Amino acid sequence: MNQTTPGAGRMAGKTAIVTGGRGDLGSATVRLLAEQGAKVASLDVAGAPAAVEHPSVAEYDVDVTSEASVAGTVASVCADLGTPDVLVNAAGIIGPAGPSHTAEEQDFDLLFNVNVKGVWLMTKHTVPAMLQQQAGSIINFSSIHGITGGKNVPLYHATKGAVRLLTKSDAAAYGGHGIRVNSIHPGSMNTRMSRRSAEQSPIGAAAYYQQLVGGNPLPRQGEPIEIAYAVLYLASDESRFTTGAELVVDGGYTAV
């Protein structure tokens, strides 16, 4: 793994791949890693507008549910930017709300294809390059609901629980090759998705947010940059003895 030069940024000399790079959390991560000196490949679905303009950011279209798309995109990134030191699997969807018996088979398939299969495929096709250099850091986006249950979106929770355990399994498998694998667990975040939910809530936005985060030790939503800084720690050499860990960034939601 390329070592950071003191004073040159915490990611100087590194190449990072970030999926979901045009979403709120992904774009904050892309921007921060680039500002900290990394060459960043920002990956997202075709048609999503680029979210970050930076000379060190390159945009790529990808369908994380398609092995051919993932394999081709990762090969292009390696050819253009070099061997990736970091993979951030931030792409994900939440799906329709409702208990299990109200969901449809296509809901199940779509959620697991994007949230779980996508993480696995990106790892499968990025790890070989990391194995060659015997170093790397993989950061998978799970959720607080990969740790706790909840009645609103059980299929989403199930996918994030799967990501949590895939992270630990890959950490065990690749640690001997210098590859670290950790998961990020965001709480309620100030994102476009959250704002849409608040606007559509029958109880009104103010009551919705009070219900959502009012009981937290830190009674507010998190900001995307706060997730990005957590990713930065796990991506940098500062976390070189951290693997198989769950970094929870939730305002204390899981503490009470």
Q: Which residues are catalytic?
A: 156
Tokens standing for 3?
Answer: 């070592």
Phi, psi of 164 (to 5 degrees): -60, -45
Amino acid at 219: P
H runs (alpha helix) in the chain: 24-35, 67-81, 105-112, 118-133, 154-174, 192-200, 205-213, 224-235
Q: How far is CA 224 from the centre of its chain?
A: 11
Distances in Å between the Cα of 65 and the Cα atoms of 19, 29, 93, 198, 225 are: 12, 22, 12, 29, 27
